[in-house]
Structure 1
Amino acid sequence: MTQQHTNVLFIMADEHQAAALSALGHPVAKTPHLDRLAARGTLFENAYTPSPICVPARAAVATGRYVHKTRYWDNAHAYDGRVAGWGHVLQSGSVPVTSIGKLHYRSEADPTGFDDQILPLHIAGGVGQVWGSVRNPLPTTLKATGMLGPIGAGMAKHNAYDMRVADAAANWLGAEARKKEPWCAFVSFVAPHFPLTVPEDYLSRYPAAQMPMPAVRPGPAYQPHPWVTRMNDIENSDAELGTDENRGAAIAAYYALCEFVDAQIGKVLDALEASGQAENTLVIYTSDHGETLGMRGRWGKSVLYREATQVPLILAGPDVVKGARVQTPVSLLDIAPTITGTFDLPSDPDWPGTSLIQIAARPDDPDRIVFSEYHAANSASGGFMVTNARWKYHAYVGYAPELFDLVTDPLETCNLADDPAFAAQQSAMEAALRRICDPVATDAAAKADQDMLVARYGGPAAAFNTGPAGATPVPGPQ
Structure 2
Amino acid sequence: MNAKNTLFIIADEHTRRYSGCYGDPVVKTPFLDKIAAEGVTFTKAYTPSPTCVAARACLATGEWLHQNEYFSSVEAYDMTRPSWGHHLIDKGHEVVSVGKLGYLRAGPGNGFTREFLPIHNLNELGWVRGLLRNPLSFPEPNVEVVEFANHVGVGETDYTKYDRVVSETACAWLRQAAQREHDKPWTLFVSLTSPHYPLICPQEFWDLYDDDEVGTAHRGPDIEIHPLMQELRKFYNYDDHFDADLARKARRAYFGLCSFTDYLVGNLLTTLELAGLKDDTRVIYTSDHGEMLGSHGLWTKFQMYEDSVAIPMLMSGPDIPQGVTCDTPVSLIDLYPTLIEAAGEPLNEREENLDGVSLFRIIEGEKPERFVLSEYHDGGVSTGIFMLLNGPWKYIYYPGFRPQLFNHETDPNEDVDLAEDPNFANALAECENALRSMLDPEKVNARALEKQAAIIEKLGGYDAINNMEQSDIFIEVEALYVNNAELRTPCDLLVASEAIVPE
Q: Which residue of 1 aligns with 2:439?
A: 437
Residue 240 (1) aligns with residue 241 (2)? yes
How many residues are paired up? 471
- Give the alignment partner of residue 125 of structure 2, picking from 111, 127, 143: 127
Q: Which moved more, 1:287-296 or 1:225-234?
A: 225-234
Give the match's secondary structure for 1:104: strand
**Displacement of 1:467 after TM fit?**
6.2
Q: Which moved more, 1:444-453 or 1:388-397?
A: 388-397
**Displacement of 1:35 after TM fit?**
0.3
Alpha-carbon separation, structure 2, partners of 1:371 and 1:169: 32
Aligned residues of 2:3 and 2:341 also touching (Cα < 8 A): no
Q: Which residue of 2 aligns with 1:200?
A: 203
Deviations along 1:113-135, one digit per CA (max 9) or x if unpaired, are 00100111112222110111111
Q: Which residue of 2 aligns with 1:57?
A: 55
1:379-398 superposed matches below 5 A: 379-398=381-400
Q: Which residue of 2 aligns with 1:406?
A: 408
**Displacement of 1:420 after TM fit?**
2.2
Q: Which moved more, 1:178-187 or 1:112-121?
A: 178-187
**Displacement of 1:179 after TM fit?**
5.1
Q: Which residue of 1 aligns with 2:364?
A: 361
Aligned residues of 2:127 and 2:473 also touching (Cα < 8 A): no
Aligned residues of 1:366 and 1:388 also touching (Cα < 8 A): no
Amino acid at match of 1:406: H
1:46-195 superposed matches below 5 A: 46-109=44-107, 111-142=109-140, 143-145=142-144, 146-148=146-148, 150-175=151-176, 176-178=178-180, 180-181=182-183, 182-195=185-198
**Displacement of 1:153 after TM fit?**
0.7
Unaligned runs of 5+ in 2: 485-503
1:221-370 superposed matches below 5 A: 221-241=222-242, 243-347=243-347, 348-362=351-365, 365=367, 369-370=371-372
Aligned residues of 1:327 and 1:366 also touching (Cα < 8 A): no
**Displacement of 1:233 after TM fit?**
2.5
Deviations along 1:152-188, one digit per CA (max 9) or x if unpaired, are 1111111010000111011100114555341011000
Alpha carbons of 1:141 and 1:155: their partners in 2 closer, same or farther (altered >3 Å)?
Answer: closer
Give RMSD over aligned pairs. Answer: 1.8
Residue 458 (1) aligns with residue 460 (2)? yes
Give the match's secondary structure for 2:325: strand
**Displacement of 1:431 after TM fit?**
1.1
Give the match's secondary structure for 1:399: coil
Aligned residues of 1:196 and 1:253 also touching (Cα < 8 A): yes
Amino acid at match of 1:403: L
Q: Which residue of 1 aligns with 2:501?
A: none
**Displacement of 1:214 after TM fit?**
1.4
Deviations along 1:361-419, one digit per CA (max 9) or x if unpaired, are 117x5996200000012122100011034111000112210111100000111111132
Alpha-carbon separation, structure 1, partners of 2:461 and 2:376: 22
Aligned residues of 1:202 and 1:256 also touching (Cα < 8 A): yes
Identity of aligned pairs, percent? 37
Give the match's secondary structure for 1:167: helix
Deviations along 1:40-69, one digit per CA (max 9) or x if unpaired, are 000000000000000000000000001111
Alpha-carbon separation, structure 1, partners of 2:322 and 2:405: 35
Give the match's secondary structure for 2:99: strand
Q: Which residue of 2 aligns with 1:212?
A: 215
Q: Which residue of 2 aligns with 1:416?
A: 418
Alpha-carbon separation, structure 2, partners of 1:387 and 1:425: 12
Aligned residues of 2:405 and 2:418 also touching (Cα < 8 A): yes
Query: TM-score, normalization: structure 2?
Result: 0.90
Aligned residues of 1:403 and 1:415 also touching (Cα < 8 A): yes
**Displacement of 1:211 after TM fit?**
2.5
Alpha-carbon separation, structure 1, partners of 2:470 and 2:109: 25
Aligned residues of 2:186 and 2:343 also touching (Cα < 8 A): no
Q: Which residue of 2 aligns with 1:427?
A: 429
Aligned residues of 1:366 and 1:390 also touching (Cα < 8 A): no
**Displacement of 1:80 after TM fit?**
1.2
Query: TM-score, normalization: structure 1?
Result: 0.95
Unaligned runs of 5+ in 1: none
Alpha-carbon separation, structure 1, partners of 2:469 and 2:100: 18
**Displacement of 1:82 after TM fit?**
0.7
Alpha-carbon separation, structure 2, partners of 1:161 and 1:236: 28
**Displacement of 1:453 after TM fit?**
1.0
Alpha carbons of 1:304 and 1:168: their partners in 2 closer, same or farther (altered >3 Å)?
Answer: same
Aligned residues of 2:42 and 2:325 also touching (Cα < 8 A): yes
Amino acid at match of 1:255: F
Alpha-carbon separation, structure 2, partners of 1:147 and 1:383: 26
Q: Which residue of 2 aligns with 1:470?
A: 472
Aligned residues of 1:131 and 1:467 also touching (Cα < 8 A): no
Q: Which residue of 2 aligns with 1:375?
A: 377
Alpha carbons of 1:467 and 1:392: their partners in 2 closer, same or farther (altered >3 Å)?
Answer: farther
Deviations along 1:182-230, one digit per CA (max 9) or x if unpaired, are 101100000000011111111122223443221125xx63343221221
